[in-house]
Copies of this chain bind each other. A is one copy, B any other.
């Protein structure tokens, strides 16, 4: 069912829909319309229908969607029926924030190892996970068959860390360092720049204030 044509914005909205469906499901609601989903997450009903239509027919005309089924289907599409194992490299403020972020575990992402080079941090336990030195990445990540590596080190060290993660066999890298990384094409790379979110805001403000 998946094709390369699905816009990333659709994937990001599916992620938002699924969180909303989880909330609705907890309230015991059985069926929901695209209009209700749209209102709940702040997009248009047509957008909801278009996003879902990429993946098949989930709803029944005039009745709506079964909440549990739609939720389960979206989680499957997003690859969240599995548990994902993740390592985190760089335990600064951002690394600490991510390693204790409840949202990850709720969505099936477990942080199974944490690396840093600060002797004051090595040996610390973060939610039961021991902080290890960076030179153990290759050994530990490949042994534990970790699929995803998150990089929260300073820009200057990020490529070196990415190289180690690639050698360890991770399938995907989530990079928070403000630098363009080179990884082989078989490794999925996603850069997260926290300022980008602010800039979408200021762009929108410009439009409103003009």
Given contacts A16-B196, A193-B15, contact A205 B178 (CB under 8 A): no
* 8 Å CB interface, A178-196 against B: 178, 180, 186, 188-196
Dominant SS at the A interface?
Answer: helix
Copies of this chain, count: 2
What size tier do the contact residues of chain A reach?
Answer: 35 or more
Query: Measured between alpha carbons, how far is A19 from B178 in the docked complex, in Å?
Result: 9
Closest chain B residue to A200, Cβ basis: B11
1/0 contact string of A9-47 vs chain B (CB within 8 Å) = 101101110011000000000000000000011100000
* Most chain B CB atoms below 10 A, which of A186, A197, A202: A202
- A80/B15 in contact, CB under 8 A: no
Interface stretch (choices A99-107, A115-123, A132-140, A161-169):
A99-107
Residues in chain B near residue A192, CB distance under 8 A: 194, 197
